[in-house]
Amino acid sequence: MALPVLLLLCTAPLVRGHGSGVVIDSCEDMELHHSGLSPQTAPSPFTVTTEQRRYGLGEDVIVELQGPASTPFTGFLLQARELGSKSPVGSFAIPEGAAQLLTCSQRANSAVSHTSGFNSSYVQVTWRSEPSRDIKAVHFCASFVQNSTTFWINVTSPVLTFTNGRAARSAGALTTSTDNGSLQPGSLVKSAGPISSADCGVTKVCFSQPSNCDPAVSASCYFMSAKMLAGGEAVHFEMTGPYEGYIAFGFSDDQRMGNDDIYVCVMKSNGQVEVEHMYSTGRSKPQVLPLGNVYNRTTSLQNSVISCVFTTTNTISIEGTSGFNQSYYLLFSYGPSNNGSIRIHMGTFTSNKRININNPLVVDKDDVPDIIKAHGSLMLIAWMTTGSLGMMVARYLKKMAKGKKMCDKDLWFMVHVGVMCLTVAATIIAFILVFVHSQDWSGGAHPVLGCLVMILSLIQPIGALLRCGPQHHLYVSICVCLINILYHAYTHLRILCSNII
C-alpha cells in the first residue's frame, strides 16, 4: 500500500548572477546563492497550487505558480521531491518560451526555472509522476524572487495523495510532447476528462445551444466555458460541439461579426485537431494570429464531437477594449473546414448581453432581434396575405362585383389597388428595417432575392401609374400585341418541342 505523498514544488527565481535562470547550483538546497541576502520571513504573496489533490502513476498534474497581478515575480525554480529527501522526482513539461527545463540530480527535466527577462504573476506547468515506482512520500516547497533584494523560500502547498495504479485517461484525446519536455504548437499537456456543465454559474461562465445543455450528456450540445484562474491573469477555456469541421467562440463589442477576438477548434489537414487564435475585422475570413501564450492544450475528435480545452494568458483584445476585466458579447459559430482552413459558418448564436468572465454565470443566447421579427412579419403579411388577396380580387371579384362602383371606379379595382399598395408599403418598410439592423451586405442568396422582390414591388405602382384607361385605343393595342406575342411564343415552343421529341 503506497504511503501518502506530498509534492514539493520549489520555485526560486534568479537574483544576481542568475538572470538566465540556469541555477543548477541551487538544485539541492533551493537557496539563492551569491545573493548575500536573507529570505523574507513575512508570509509570501506567491502561492503554489494544483488542480487536484490525488494522482496516480504516470499521471499529469497541473501546477500553478501565481501571485497578485500588481506584484509579479521575476524568476523561479520548481521541483517535486519525496518527503524527507532532497532528490527530485518526476519530470516536467512546459509551454514553449515561458520557462526552461533543468537537469537536477542527473534527472532530465526534473526542475523548471525562469528564462532571461522573466516578469509575470502567473506560470502554469505540468508535472508527470514516475510511471512505475514505489513512491513513499513527497512534499511541496516553493521559493519566489520578487526583485533583487526580496525573495521567499519554503513556500508550501496543499498535499497530493497518491492513489494506486495509473489514473484513467479519456479515450481519443490526443497527447504529445517533445523529447525535451517542452510543448510544441498543437501538443497537449494532459488528456482532460469530459467537458460538462458542472460548476456553470459557480466557478465558470458557460454559453451553450440549446440553452443549458450539458455536453457530457448530449452530443448535439454546442458549449463553451471560461474560468478565470487565481491571480486574474489566465483563463481556462473549454469548447465542444458536433463535428462539421470547426467550432469557434469569440469576444465582440457588438452582436455582429467584425472586430472580434476569436479562438477556433479545427481539424487540420494532418488529421489532428488544433487550437487557433484569430481576429476578424469584417465579414471576410478572420485573420490567423500567432497562438501566443496558450498552454495545456487538450483536443479530441470522438464520436463526431470535436473538443478543445486550453489555458491562456493572452488578454482579450478588440478595437477600443482590452483586458479580462472588461465586458464583451460572446459569439459562437460552427461550420465546415477545407484542408484545415475554416469556411463560412453554417450557424451562429450570440449572448443576449455583455458578460465579464470574472463573474461566473450561465449566459443566455440572444433570441432573434425584434427588428428582424418585424421584418419577417411584414414580408409575410405582404406576400402571403395582402399580395395574394390583391391577385385574387383582380381574378374573381371583377366578375362577382360587376357594375358595383366606389369613388366612380369599379369596386374590384379599388380593392385591388388598396391591398396592393399595402403590399408595396409593407415590403418597403421591411426592406429598410433589415438594412438598418445589418448595416452591411450579409451575403448569400437571401439579400439578393430581397432586393429583387423590392425592385419588382416598385415596378407594380409605377406600371399602375402609367396604365391607360380600359377603353383607350393604346390600351387595346397593347393587349392585342401582348396576346400575339404570347401566341407566337407558344407556337414556336410547341414546334421546337416536337422537333426534339
Q: Which residue has the higher pLDDT, 403 or 10?
A: 403
205-363 domain in CATH 1.10.10.10?
no
Q: What is the pLDDT of residue 261?
A: 93
pLDDT at site 479: 63
Distance from first CA to last CA of the chain, Å, rounded?
90
Of 97, 88, 170, 168, residue with least CA distance to 129 = 88
293-319 pLDDT per residue, tens? 887 788 889 889 999 999 888 888 887
Tell me which of 349 and 494 has the higher pLDDT: 349
User: Mean of the pLDDT values across residues 185-205?
Assistant: 68
State the pLDDT at residue 398. Answer: 73
- Residues 99-122: tens digit of each pLDDT: 888 888 888 888 888 888 888 888
Cβ(95)–Cβ(124) under 8 Å? yes
- Closest C-alpha to 194, from 124, 298, 268, 296: 298
Percent of the chain with pLDDT over 90: 16
Residue 406 has what pLDDT?
79
- Residue showing cell 548575500: 36
d(CA 417, CA 420): 5
pLDDT value of position 489: 66
If you ran DSSP here, which 8-state letter would residue 498 be given? H
The set of residues, in sequence order, having a beta carbon less than 8 Å from that of 496 and lying 6+ positions away, is: none
* SS3 at position 49: strand
Tell me which CATH homologous superfamily contains domain 24-162: Reeler domain (2.60.40.4060)
Whether 427 and 453 have beta carbons less than 8 Å apart is answered as yes
What confidence score (pLDDT) does residue 184 get?
39
All three cell numbers of 259: 472586430
Where is mean pLDDT largest: 55-69, 163-177, 281-295, 346-360? 346-360
Q: What is the Cα 367 distance to its own chain's centre? A: 19
Q: Which residue has the higher pLDDT, 327 or 231?
A: 327
The per-residue pLDDT for range 340-398, each reduced to its tens digit, is 899 988 888 999 889 999 999 999 876 667 788 888 888 888 888 887 888 888 778 77
The total of other beta-carbon atoms located within 10 Å of residue 204's CB is 22
Give the per-residue pLDDT at 356: 92
Query: For the segment 142-159, what is each residue's pLDDT rounded down to a tens digit?
Result: 788 888 888 888 776 666
Judged by average pLDDT, the poorest of 20-34, 347-361, 437-451 is 20-34
Q: What is the pLDDT of residues 210-223, one digit of tens each?
A: 988 999 999 999 99
Question: Would the pLDDT of 165 be above 60?
Answer: no
The per-residue pLDDT for 21 is 52
Band of residue 242 on the pLDDT scale cut at 50, 70, 90:
very high
Domain coordinates in residue numbering, the chain: 24-162, 205-363, 370-499
Q: Which of 254, 330, 270, 265 is nearest to 291 (CA)?
A: 265
Please tell me the predicted confidence (pLDDT) of residue 187. Answer: 38
Q: What is the pLDDT of residue 471?
A: 61
The segment with the largest mean pLDDT, out of 190-194, 283-287, 319-323, 479-483, is 283-287
CA 295 to CA 311: how far, in whole Å? 5
Say whether 205-363 and 24-162 share the same fold. yes
Q: So what's the pLDDT on residue 251? A: 94
pLDDT band at 446 (very low <50, low <70, confident <90, very high): confident
Helices (H), 242-351: none
- Host H or E run for residue 481: helix 473-500
pLDDT given for residue 443 in this prediction: 62
Give pTM, 2 decimals.
0.49
Q: Band of the pLDDT at 444, cuts 50, 70, 90?
A: low
Q: Please, which pLDDT band fits residue 496 given cuts at 50, 70 and 90?
A: low
Kindly report which listed range (42-46, 113-117, 135-139, 323-327) carries the lowest average pLDDT score. Answer: 135-139
Q: How far apart are CA 170 and CA 60, in angstroms?
A: 13
